[in-house]
Structure 1
Amino acid sequence: MGFFSFIGSCISGVCSAVGSFISGACSVFTKAVAGIAGIATGALSVVLGPLGPILGPIIANLIIKVIGAVLFKLAKLLHITKEEEKPEEVGYRVDEASRHEDWKKREEFASFQDYYDYLRQQIPDEEIDQDKLNKNSGAYRIIGSSTLYHEIGEEEGMDLPGEFMMDIGRGKLSAEEVKTVLKTFKDLKVDGKSIADYWEGNMTFREEKPITEALRTAFAVLYPEKSKEEINDRLDDIRSATRGTIDNGDSLETLKRLYKDEISQMEQERADIAKSGDSDALREFDRVK
Structure 2
Amino acid sequence: MQATPADPSTPDAFLTPVEHLFVRNHLGPPPELDASAWTLTVEGLVERPLWLDLAALRGLARRRLTAFHECFGNPSRPDVPTRAVANLEWSGVALADVLDLAAPRPQARHIWFEGADRGSYAGEGGLRYLKDLPLEQARDEVLLADTVNGEPLPRRHGFPLRAVAPRLFATNSVKWLTRVVLSERRPEHLFTTRLYTRVPPGGGAARPVREVDVNSKLLGPRDGQRVTAGTHELTGRAWSYEPVVAVEVAVDDDGWRPTLLQPRGPGPVWQRFALPCRLSPGPHRIRCRATDARGRVQPPSGARNAVHAVEVVAV
Q: Does TM, scored on the shorter chain, surpass 0.5?
A: no
Give the structure with the higher percent strand. Answer: 2
Give the structure with the higher percent helix. Answer: 1
Instruction: Indicate the TM-score class for this superposition, using the shorter chain for normalisation.
Output: under 0.3
Q: Which has the higher contact order (CA 8 A, sep 6+)?
A: 1
